[in-house]
Amino acid sequence: MIAVLNGPNLNLLGTRQPEIYGAETLDDVEALCAETAETLGLAIDFRQTNGEGELITWVQECRGRAAGIIINPAGYSHTSIALMDALKAVDLPIVEVHISNIHRREEFRHLSYVSKVATGVIAGLGIRGYALALRAMADIVAPEGEP
């Protein structure tokens, strides 16, 4: 199972700053992830929270339960050392996803604590980044010798 975890304000996708984040909703993201995962033969657990503590708890629950984590930490990317520490502690492959290109935005968004522990980062490709993250994760977690 691959955990697909989403941080604060992503429940507002489609209505919050569509010029930056697009018109797709979080339901659209979940449908894309489910479709992509099925194609790849992966099971996913898709979640969203506005709470930092809840997100950290979900990360910790992945230990021994998930093969990897795809995470869009949203605003917690730039503020949460606790989230970074939790991700580091679970010792799983992590792909960080951002719908917008955080490096073309405000200076404070250029630093992501999550990037410091992520296996890889996908940013700026809209919700397609989630599908790409799932494809990458499928390659990362595939047993050696299998396609």
6: phi then psi, degrees, rounded to nearest 5: -125, 135
- Check 21, 76, 113, 130 and give the catalytic one: 21
Other beta carbons within 10 angstroms of residue 102's beta carbon come to 20
Structural Rg of the chain based on CA atoms:
14
Residue 21 annotated as catalytic = yes
- Check 76, 98, 113, 130 and give the catalytic one: 98
Residue 98 annotated as catalytic = yes
Q: What's the distance, CA 34 to chain centroid? A: 14
Range 120-124, long-range pairs (CB < 8 A, 24+ positions): 120/95, 120/96, 121/95, 121/96, 121/97, 122/95, 122/96, 122/97, 122/98, 123/96, 123/97, 123/98, 124/98, 124/99, 124/100
Catalytic residues: 21, 98
